[in-house]
Structure 1
Amino acid sequence: MSELASSRVWFITGTSKGLGRALLEEVLSRGERAVATLREPDVLEPLAERYPSSQLLVFRLDVSSYAEIEDAFRATEVHFGRLDVVVNNAGYAVEGEIEATPENAARAQMEVCFWGPANITKEASQIPQSIRFFRDVNPLGQGGRVLNISSICGYSGNPTFSYYCAAKFALEAFTESFIKEMLPEWNIKGVIVEPGGFRTDWNAGSLVRFPAPPQYDTPESPTVRFRKMTAQTYIGDPAKAAKALVQIADMDELPLRIQLGTESLLVVRNKAVRTIQDGERYAELAHSTNVDGVDKDAVLEMFKEINA
């Protein structure tokens, strides 16, 4: 068997630009194979001309369409016959104060950033009625990896990004549950990746903006200040993020969460510390709601085991 024919197969969503495009190019440059999905396949014509079909399959996919997700996985099975790494990267953000964001825009945000990766994760991990890959198509025990690209906004809610944060929070909770449901012998593992701001064309095509209502338009407004701050804090290099994602996929044991970018790491650490501090400060209030006679130490021990 040739080296290419035995290499890993990646399924990457949102490969037209940004982190997805950088990751696709990194994977191909390493001699691995990829299914590159995006809404406008013509964008990848230069790569399709450079790499043979035995290494690159470009497939049209709108992640909000379950039918298209099924088609993409069928095509992957026919074309490569195996699958090793799924990267749920496709997405965009809606920016706007909560009361200024139309409901249809908020719902569309959830469809793409939560339901899209949730349905793709189901397909890849062979939950009933989905295409058989990690568990039933791949050789027994080979399993696979799911890298769900969340955001710094998936751990810490921010002004003007309420619905984007909500979608990413939901994705993180879904991913945690998914990881805990997988039987060890299946060797199906997942990780939540939390990037900070990266220097892509995010503002050009991946950000839908709604103007602030006049009531918020003051220098002291938290949303006005946050808009100004985020416009100046894109410090990440997409090419370096791509190398980091490959490194993550290579890990034998995956962390539950991993941050990409100094600011993401700082925000997550600060919130985690504050959560612990609040828990300790209000512990007695939490215990006070137990039924009389409950041994709180025994409960703590039991749940420590469950959440290990």
Structure 2
Amino acid sequence: MEAPALKPYYLPADAVWFITGCSSGIGQSLAQHIAVTFPTQRVVATARNVASLAAPELPDGPNILKLALDVTSPPSISAAFDETLARYGRVDVVVNNAGYSLMGDAEASPVGNADARALLDTNFWGAVDVTKRALNIFRDSNPKTGQIGGVILNVSSMGGVLGSPGSAYYHASKFALEGFAESVSKELKPEWGIHICNVEPGGVQTKYATSSLRLIEPRHPAYAGGLTDAMLGFINNRELHKVFARPEDIAVAMCEIVGGGKEIPMRVSLGSDSYGLIKQKLEKQMEDLEKYKELSCSMGDPKLDHVTNLVG
């Protein structure tokens, strides 16, 4: 079934934003945009190294709280949220933005997949643990201040809907996050007023190809000259990135999604590349679905209302 219908969300004028991964890119741009454009709102900007949040990248002020946060550490998550509640009393929007990418041939990942597991710990499990604490605060803590519910924005990617060569583990983390979020959204009671949205940017002019990108090395020789090489060449060609969206534009769009006084959707693609490629993927998926409809429907009881009512 669909997630229970929610009323449109109205962001408070003094909203409290809790944003992970603010040292650069989308997280930093979002924190800056809120601080400058909506000075009555409060921003909790977090990063593994709190020194990376120093001014002028992010201004200081009574409505800015800069905290160290390692999303792979549950005690660190608890400490950051506890300090936020002690300072502001509630949290209205939680943005799961912390993450990085791992590129290379999946087969070449070392035995035990330590590099891939570390990526999942940040991109997926980190967001899961932040989300779980956020749900508790939205449901149990916020009403004590007179504010009901809140919003979780997951910075996913068009890579949470479609896969590209050389980034199997990154895509796995984003697919997992999107599936987790969709399922959780259907568990929540409407009266809690909790909204979840996966934002799916396409290419963004961030440090994706530098400090936010790690490589699986050494490369597997069998894949030389394949599509992973082509993708790595594209990622490393900074000139080609000029057509990407600016992180500032992504930040403005995220504020519009949350602050527009409208129903918040489960997914929003951001960028013409994201929109176009996701649309293409879904059209091909529908084509394949219809092509194999007869085979698909040739087994099981066709009267599955009791299942579709639960799963949707």
Does TM, scored on the shorter chain, surpass 0.5? yes
Q: Indicate whether 1:137 and 2:133 are aligned.
A: no
- In the alignment, does 2:175 pair up with 1:166? no
| Counterpart selection for 1:37 from 23, 43, 46 | 46
Q: Cα–Cα, structure 1 residues 285 and 46, in superposed 2: closer, same or farther, change >3 Å? A: same
CA distance in 2, matches of 1:168, 1:6: 31
Q: Secondary structure at the match of 2:277?
A: helix
Q: TM-score, normalised by structure 2?
A: 0.88
**What is residue 227 of structure 1 aligned with on the other side?**
232
2:115 is equivalent to residue 97 of structure 1: no
Secondary structure, aligned partner of 1:79: helix
1:200 aligns with 2:206: yes
Distance 2:293 2:215 in 1: 41
Amino acid at match of 2:290: E
Q: Distance in 2 between matches of 1:248 and 1:83?
A: 17
Alpha-carbon distance between aligned partners in 2 of 1:151 and 1:306, rounded to the nearest angstrom: 27
Whether the 8 Å CA contact 2:209–2:235 is kept in 1: the answer is no
The 5-angstrom pairing of residues 35-184 of structure 1 reads 35-46=44-55, 50-52=59-61, 54-102=62-110, 103-126=113-136, 133-139=137-143, 142-184=148-190
Secondary structure of the corresponding residue to residue 135 of structure 1: helix
Amino acid at match of 2:222: Q
Pick aligned residue for 1:209 from 215, 218, 228:
215
- Displacement of 1:250 in angstroms is 1.5
Residue 255 (structure 2) pairs with residue 249 (structure 1): no
Asked if 2 retains the 8 angstrom alpha-carbon contact of 1:8 and 1:83, the reply is yes
Name structure 2 gaps, 5 residues minimum.
1-11
Determine which of 16, 19, 24 is the counterpart of 1:17. 24
In structure 2, C-alpha distance between the alignment counterparts of 1:280 and 1:6, rounded to whole Å? 47
Q: 1:155 to 1:142 in 2, by over 3 A?
A: same
d(CA) in 1 for partners of 2:162, 2:76: 32
CA distance in 1 between partners of 2:151 and 2:259 (Å): 9
Separation of aligned partners in 2, 1:163 and 1:216:
17
Shift of 1:51: 2.9
Amino acid in structure 2 at the alignment position of 1:8: A
Closer, same or farther in 2 for the Cα pair 1:278/1:6, shift >3 Å? closer
Q: Structure 1 CA distance, aligned partners of 2:93 and 2:264?
A: 13
1:8-51: CA deviation from partner (whole Å, max 9, x where unpaired):
00000000000000000011111110111101111222159843
Higher relative contact order, chain-length normalized (CA < 8 Å, sep 6+): 2
- For residues 282 and 84 of structure 1, what CA distance do their matches in structure 2 show? 45
The sequence identity of aligned pairs, in percent, is 37
Amino acid at match of 2:234: M
For structure 1, the 5+ residue unaligned runs are 127-132
Instruction: Tell me if structure 1 keeps the 8 A contact 2:32–2:59.
Output: no
Amino acid at match of 1:217: A
3-state DSSP of counterpart to 1:205: coil
Give 1:307 deviation, angstroms. 5.3
* Shift in alpha-carbon separation, 1:49–1:163, aligned structure 2, 3 A: closer
Task: Using structure 1 for the length normalisation, give the TM-score.
Answer: 0.89
Aligned Cα root-mean-square deviation (Å): 1.9
